């Protein structure tokens, strides 16, 4: 495939890519290749070529929700980091999929727009945030999205209005249709007072520092909160805080965080996840649903 991909001239290509450099857990072995596409036309070209050759492919953002395998990943990773245009018009923001969500929250605050304060500590991209309907502090992307431009399974550009995006707790239309690729979105925010917006964001930053293990590699919350309860509470009640599994550990600050404590492998993290799920099910009869994605 090397020659075919290079002939397409779609962007920078990294072969035998070290996966640990492309996820916030810093785990994983080697991937076949990473293609950093230059634009959406290049994205269409590379996906079409890979589909015609029955090659496995996966879109990645900042890897802030991914657990890559330890061994060889027999697929092509596609980065949308070059799709990073952003424009603010009144209370509407047009932004492409590769733009940083945390960076956008700051840009919105500087423009005296309120609604994105929850996103200040989320290290993902816009595309990833829409894919999983990222959220915090009782808000999420579903409250802000007006519409999403995307490539469908046939590589045709389509637009979904908010009501058709199927936004629910940590899921969306795109999560249920992983061969569709988010290109850009239009968000609708509200006018606010700049100083108050930054005050809220600063307060939450301090709270995150106190309650989350930001000093270690992790991928944020591991499990979705079950209805009417908190995953962290269930896990902590079983004495998991500080528990080591190889190089992975349940955070002593927050039980719904797993950290790469000491050169953890992906197998360490997955093993700890499965151990937690088994024992929470045994004790409480609750099936903890994974918020992160185990890449296979």
Per-residue pLDDT reduced to its tens digit, 113-172? 999 999 999 999 999 999 999 999 999 999 999 999 999 999 999 999 999 999 999 999
Correct CATH for 2-79 of 3.30.1490.190, 1.10.1740.10, 3.30.43.10, 3.40.50.970 = 3.30.43.10
Q: Which is the catalytic residue, given 49, 96, 117, 291?
A: 291
User: Which ranges in 53-179 belong to alpha helices (H)?
Assistant: 101-110, 126-132, 173-176
pLDDT tier for residue 272 given thresholds of 50, 70 and 90:
very high
Q: Which CATH class is domain 86-195?
A: alpha beta
- Catalytic annotation present for 291: yes
Annotated active-site residue in 55, 64, 105, 170: 170
Q: How confident is the model at residue 265 (pLDDT cuts 50, 70, 90)?
A: very high
- Which pLDDT does position 247 carry in this prediction? 98
224 labelled catalytic: no
Q: Is the pLDDT of residue 1 over 80?
A: no
Residue from 64, 79, 221, 251 carrying the catalytic annotation? 221
Domain boundaries, the chain: 2-79, 86-195, 213-294
pLDDT per position as a tens digit, 201-250: 999 999 999 999 999 999 999 999 999 999 999 999 999 999 999 999 99
Residue 3's pLDDT is 85
Architecture of domain 213-294: Alpha-Beta Complex (3.90)
Alpha-helix residue ranges (DSSP H) falling in 134-216: 173-176, 194-211
Look up 205 and say whether it is catalytic.
no
């Amino acid at each position: 495939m090397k020659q075919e991909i290079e002939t397409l001239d779609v962007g920078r290509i990294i072969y035998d890519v070290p996966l640990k450099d492309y996820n916030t857990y810093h785990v994983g072995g080697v991937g076949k290749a990473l293609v950093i596409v230059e634009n959406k036309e290049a994205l269409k070209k590379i996906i079409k070529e890979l589909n015609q050759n029955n090659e496995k492919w996966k879109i990645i953002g900042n890897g802030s929700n991914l657990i890559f395998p330890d061994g060889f990943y027999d697929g092509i990773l596609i980065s949308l980091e070059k799709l990073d245009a952003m424009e603010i018009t009144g209370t509407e923001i047009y932004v492409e999929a590769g733009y940083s969500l945390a960076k956008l929250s700051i840009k919105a605050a500087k423009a005296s727009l309120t609604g994105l304060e929850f996103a200040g500590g989320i290290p993902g991209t816009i595309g990833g945030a829409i894919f999983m309907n990222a959220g915090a502090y009782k808000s999420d992307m579903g409250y802000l999205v007006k519409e999403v431009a995307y490539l469908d399974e046939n590589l045709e550009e389509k637009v979904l209005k908010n009501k058709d995006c199927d936004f629910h707790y940590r899921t969306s239309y795109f999560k249920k249709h992983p061969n569709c690729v988010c290109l850009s979105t239009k968000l609708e925010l509200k006018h606010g007072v700049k100083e108050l917006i930054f005050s809220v964001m600063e307060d939450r930053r301090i709270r995150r520092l106190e309650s989350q293990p930001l000093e270690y590699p992790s991928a944020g919350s591991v499990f979705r909160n079950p209805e009417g309860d908190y995953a962290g509470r269930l896990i902590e009640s079983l004495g998991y805080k500080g528990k080591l599994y190889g190089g992975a550990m349940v955070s002593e600050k927050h039980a719904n965080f797993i950290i790469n404590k000491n050169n953890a492998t992906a197998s360490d993290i997955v093993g700890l996840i499965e151990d937690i799920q088994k024992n929470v099910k045994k004790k409480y009869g609750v099936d903890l649903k994974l918020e992160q994605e185990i890449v296979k």
